[in-house]
Structure 1
Amino acid sequence: MPRLALYTFGVLKSPLADPGRLTREFYDSGDAVYRQIGQHPGYLAHAEAADGERGMLFGADWGAWGEFAVPAWYGKGRTVHTTALAATLSLWTGLRPAFEAIYAGPHREALNRRHDWFERTEHPTHVLWWVSDAVTPAWQDGVARLEHLHGHGPAPHAFTFRHPFAPDGTPTATR
């Protein structure tokens, strides 16, 4: 049975290492979001660095999720002190469970505050695609599909919650 891969990417206004109030609020909300999403029906897994610390993304050991990667349009720092991005890579049983987890509860509250923490951009902030049971998507997969979505729009290869596709490639509804 196919599984749904979800890659999210946003450029933060401040580096992750910034000791300011907004960065602390972002981290604090992130802790609640991960707890809620991790317990949501339909959630399977997300990329976690085996040896990472807060703010360490580049150069961390991501195991089966591959080497950490970002879209070509990311132009900020890549060190623990200068990285200014938030990215996730996760697996779900389907569109509906992922949609319900993202657009409800603590994550919905965080989405309502996204402009406090993230720069506004013309680039997509998430991309979805279907993978087989045996596949663990890699960071580079998410980046390639997000860039494809930005350049070509939604397609069975790379789509959004607003314009979803079923595993067989036909347009579908999220709900």
Structure 2
Amino acid sequence: MPHLALYTFGVLKSPLADTAPLTREFYDIGGSVYRKISQHPGYLARAEAADGDQGVLFEADWGPWGEFAVPDWYDKGRTADSTALAATLSLWTDPGSAFDAVYTGLHREALNRRHDWFERSGHPSHVCWWVLDDLIPTWRDGVSRLEHLRDHGSVPHAFSFRHVFAPDGTPVRSKGVGPENVRAH
């Protein structure tokens, strides 16, 4: 059975290494959010650096998730001192589970504060696609799908939570956004 891959990306207002209170706040809540999401029903896995250091995204060993990559619109630093982004790559059993994890609980609280931490870019902040159950998506896959979503809108190849597709490519959303509309397996 296919799994849902979810890639998220945002450009931070200041580098991760910044010692300002808002940056520390973002970093601190991130650990709690990751722990909570990893316990959510339907969660399978997420890309984690082998050494566990989130501050060296570009130099980290991501194992089977591949070399770290970013969308073409990211124009800030790439060193531990200058990187100003947040990105995740995860696997889920279905879109409803991923939607629930993103839009409820602690992660929802963090989303409510996103404009404190992230620049408003006009680009999509997430993309979903289906992968075979024995495949692990790479960072490059996520970037490619996010750029495709930006350029072409939601299609079976790359879609958002607003316009979900089943693994066979058929649309599954009937009205509104919500977990009741994204339970495709």
TM-score by length of 2: 0.93
- Structure 1 residue 20: Cα displacement: 0.5
Q: What does residue 166 of structure 2 align with?
A: 166
- Structure 1 residue 116: Cα displacement: 0.1
- Structure 1 residue 32: Cα displacement: 1.3
* Number of equivalences: 175
- Structure 2 residue 93 is the aligned partner of structure 1 residue 93: yes
Structure 1 unpaired stretches of 5+? none
Q: Which residue identity does 2:25 align to in structure 1?
A: E
For 2:20 and 2:56, how far apart are their aligned partners in 1? 18
- Structure 1 residue 29: Cα displacement: 1.1
For 1:35 and 1:71, how far apart are their aligned partners in 2? 26
- Structure 1 residue 59: Cα displacement: 1.5
Superposition pairs for residues 44-123 of structure 1, below 5 Å? 44-123=44-123
For 1:120 and 1:52, how far apart are their aligned partners in 2? 28
Q: Which residue identity does 2:163 align to in structure 1?
A: H
- Structure 1 residue 35: Cα displacement: 1.0
- Structure 1 residue 54: Cα displacement: 3.4
For 2:26 and 2:65, how far apart are their aligned partners in 1? 24
For 1:32 and 1:41, how far apart are their aligned partners in 2? 17
Counterpart of 1:148 in 2: which secondary structure?
helix
Structure 2 unpaired stretches of 5+? 174-181
For 2:51 and 2:95, how far apart are their aligned partners in 1? 31
CA contact (8 A) 1:52 1:61 kept: no
For 2:95 and 2:21, how far apart are their aligned partners in 1? 34
CA deviations over 1:62-86 (Å, ceiling 9, x no partner): 0000000000110000000000000
Counterpart of 1:158 in 2: which secondary structure?
coil
Q: What does residue 155 of structure 2 align with?
A: 155
CA contact (8 A) 1:149 1:158 kept: yes
Over aligned residue pairs, what C-alpha RMSD do you find? 0.8
For 1:101 and 1:65, how far apart are their aligned partners in 2? 21
CA deviations over 1:121-170 (Å, ceiling 9, x no partner): 11000000000011100000000000000001100000000111011100
Q: Which residue identity does 1:64 align to in structure 2?
A: P
Counterpart of 2:135 in 1: which secondary structure?
coil
Runs of 4+ aligned structure 1 residues displaced above 4 Å come to none
- Structure 1 residue 51: Cα displacement: 2.1
Counterpart of 2:22 in 1: which secondary structure?
helix
- Structure 1 residue 52: Cα displacement: 4.4
For 2:88 and 2:61, how far apart are their aligned partners in 1? 15
